[in-house]
Amino acid sequence: MTDATDRSPAPRLSFGGAWSYDPAPEASDWVDRRDRRGLFIAGAFTAPAGGVWFDSLNPATGAPLAAVAQADASDVDRAVAAARAAAPGWRALPGEHRARYLFRIARLLQERARELAILESLDGGKPIRESRDVDLPLVAAHFFHHAGWADKLELAFPGRAVEPYGVVGQVIPWNFPLLMAAWKLAPALCCGNTVVLKPAETSSLTALALCEILQQAELPPGVVNVVTGDGRVGAALVRHPDVDKVAFTGSTEVGKEIQRAVAGTGKGLTLELGGKAAHLVFEDAALDSAVEGVVRGIFFNQGHVCCAGSRLLLQESIAEPFLAALRRRVERIRVGDPLDKNTDMGAIHSAAQLARIEELVADARAHGAEVWQPDCALPGDGNWFPPTVVTRLGHVDRLMREEVFGPVLAVATFRHPDEAVDKANDTAYGLSAGIWTDKGSRILDLAGRIRAGVVWNNTFNRFDPGAAFGGMRESGFGREGGRAGLSAYVRSAGGLAAP
Ligand code: NAP
Ligand code: MG
């Protein structure tokens, strides 16, 4: 492995893409500068072999922000080769040295958090309050957490001889671009793997900014490589014969395709897929808190959340007053400019995602559901959809079964806790659920009977790097976070399957 000190000093605070390393532009300049953002391979930004670039758009305006490289199969080859070359050296580093790199990355992320939050909101459409107060703190926390594990892996796997897989191929979605990159990179690096990461086509900018931070941290070249572009890049990466393990977060449809592609190859695989979470509110719940929880559960990040509480199940006795209180609360949600600190809900991430949301809501309307939306003015340009509450749905209606991945809450009622469990489990997914009740015994009983990887009690959408997150059934397998999340990135020594 190249010693970090052999390299020319890493550029500070720059985002010059493939060509230049100018001094950092102010965050507001990023919009005006049409620089190209190259692929990140072997520690340097580089042009794609095919010379193809595409625009990354601001979903709130439709304006292009920057040109991003479209990788091809030869670029994926180069990236995997760089990760392979770096693998022996990275793996051989004592854990405490890997810990220092992770710690340094976490500190640099904190230093540049404001700039990264603005970029995340510009490129993704999410409100700055969320990128600043939720995403970025969690991104840094994930690196800090795994810095802590890197020299204690024998405690995570007592009595087991484990080893890193080697080269890990990681593919992530667009809804939490930098956070999903952190969830993937930090544990993989902690365990001694090298990585090729493929961000989503519409949200690559913060992952590329993170590569600058990796340079600043003087991470040895090739330990992390980032290839940008569309789904074909992801497909080439997961099929690459020199990738030892694949970690994917995205739709169930693509997850199944990847599972088929990896079958029989001996590669490790973990899948974090979609969800259709049930959010249960009992008559003894603290109703004001439950209303807040339900709002946070579905309208956080415009509902572009795999674990969103998209199916509200209300105990019949409180359904009417609860819905009235919910509507009053939703009327106060401010939809608009993602960079305005007072905005609660930003732009829908892409035109394609907006079309899918509109289609599902129109379908519900056509089938007799009642669609309620507050009277809110939406900006003219860009992709917008108001917070939406839909009642009078049957359990076979698409809004009850399909993941919308948007700000649309489907509502149903139940009378008895057993009926609530049956309805909660009436889904192919199994990622998350929420329960609002005053009774601890009921929480313990229901949490064990609802088939979901995460069950929140009297709260929702809370994340912590120490808590394992992941699904069951069509929501995938494997965990991210905590000790369980580490096992996704090691196998039994000698190349056997994961412990
Ligand atoms: P997606 O279409 O499955 O895309 C996810 C990633 O896979 C993107 O980088 C995508 O590239 C890439 N990709 C597309 N086709 C591929 C193929 N054939 N082989 C390999 N990679 C391929 O999902 P999405 O629309 O970006 O994200 C929304 C979905 O992600 C939702 O279903 C959501 O529930 C799920 N999600 C799950 C979690 C979780 O932790 N369980 C977290 C967040 C999101 P392109 O960008 O070019 O399409
Ligand atoms: Mg964008």
Same domain, 65 and 210: yes
Same domain, 156 and 82: yes
Same domain, 145 and 260: yes
- 230 CB less than 6 Å from ligand 1? yes
Residue-averaged pLDDT of the chain: 92
**Is 50 exceeded by the pLDDT of residue 223?**
yes
Helix (H) or strand (E) holding 41: strand 39-41
**Residues 264-295, buried b or exposed e (16+ Cβ, 10 A)?**
eeebbbbbbbbbbbbbbbbeebebeebbebbb
Same domain, 251 and 380: no
**Is 90 exceeded by the pLDDT of residue 1?**
no
CA-closest candidate to residue 310, choices 359, 254, 360, 261? 360
Sheet with 268-272: list strands edge to edge.
44-46, 39-41, 224-226, 194-198, 167-171, 245-249, 268-272, 476-477
Nearest ligand 1 atom to the CA of 274 is 34
Cα dihedral 424, 425, 431, 436 sign = positive
Q: 470 in a domain, yes or no?
A: no
341-392 pLDDT tens trace: 999 999 999 999 999 999 999 999 999 999 999 998 999 999 999 999 999 9
Q: What is the pLDDT of residue 427?
A: 97
253-280 pLDDT tens trace: 999 999 999 999 999 999 999 999 999 9
Q: What is the pLDDT of residue 32?
A: 43
- 308 CB less than 6 Å from ligand 1? no
Same domain, 217 and 352: no
**Is 80 exceeded by the pLDDT of residue 15?**
no
CA-closest candidate to residue 188, choices 207, 209, 164? 164
- Tell me which of 14 and 308 has the higher pLDDT: 308
Helix (H) or strand (E) holding 216: helix 205-216
CA-closest candidate to residue 488, choices 103, 165, 96? 165
pLDDT category at 498 given cuts 50, 70, 90 is low
- 454 CB less than 6 Å from ligand 1? no
Up-side HSE of residue 266: CA atoms within 13 Å toward CB? 8
Q: 94 in a domain, yes or no?
A: yes
CB 11 within 8 A of CB 212: yes
157, with CB counted inside 10 A (0-12, 13-18, 19+), is: middle
Q: 165 in a domain, yes or no?
A: yes
- Note the ligand closest to the C-alpha atom of 203: 2
For 121-146, what is the mean pLDDT?
Answer: 98
Q: Which residue is closest in CA terms to ligand 1's atom 17?
A: 235
Same domain, 38 and 166: yes
- Note the ligand closest to the C-alpha atom of 201: 1
Percent of the chain with pLDDT over 70: 92
- 463 CB less than 6 Å from ligand 1? no
Q: 97 in a domain, yes or no?
A: yes
Same domain, 231 and 293: no
Q: 372 in a domain, yes or no?
A: yes
Could you count the other beta carbons within 10 Å of the beta carbon of residue 367? 14
138-166 pLDDT tens trace: 999 999 999 999 999 999 999 899 999 99
Q: 315 in a domain, yes or no?
A: yes
Tell how far the Cα of 483 is from the centroid of ligand 2, in angstroms. 33
Determine the structural domain holding residue 227 and report its residue range.
2-273+476-497
Q: What is the pLDDT of residue 93?
A: 98
- 179 CB less than 6 Å from ligand 1? no
Q: What is the pLDDT of residue 129?
A: 98
CATH number (domain holding residue 257): 3.40.605.10
**Is 90 exceeded by the pLDDT of residue 11?**
no
Q: 449 in a domain, yes or no?
A: yes
426, with CB counted inside 10 A (0-12, 13-18, 19+), is: middle
Same domain, 33 and 59: yes
68-77 pLDDT tens trace: 999 999 999 9
**Is 90 exceeded by the pLDDT of residue 16?**
no
Strand, helix or coil for residue 313: strand
Q: What is the pLDDT of residue 37?
A: 86
Report the catalytic residues: 272, 306
Cβ contacts of 353 within 8 Å, gap of 6 or more: 304, 383, 405, 406
Could you count the other beta carbons within 10 Å of the beta carbon of residue 88? 11
pLDDT category at 494 given cuts 50, 70, 90 is confident
277-299 pLDDT tens trace: 999 999 999 999 999 999 999 99
Same domain, 168 and 236: yes
pLDDT category at 495 given cuts 50, 70, 90 is low
- 238 CB less than 6 Å from ligand 1? yes
Q: 208 in a domain, yes or no?
A: yes
For 301-309, what is the mean pLDDT?
Answer: 98
pLDDT category at 28 given cuts 50, 70, 90 is very low
Same domain, 193 and 293: no
Can you tell me the distance from the alpha carbon of 227 to that of 167, in angstroms, rounded to the nearest whole number?
14
| Tally of structural domains, the chain | 2
Same domain, 486 and 458: no
**Is 90 exceeded by the pLDDT of residue 209?**
yes
From 246, 251, 463, the mutation candidate for ligand 1 (largest count of ligand atoms within 8 A of CB) is 251
Could you count the other beta carbons within 10 Å of the beta carbon of residue 121? 28
From 228, 267, 306, the mutation candidate for ligand 1 (largest count of ligand atoms within 8 A of CB) is 306
Same domain, 29 and 111: yes
CATH number (domain holding residue 329): 3.40.309.10
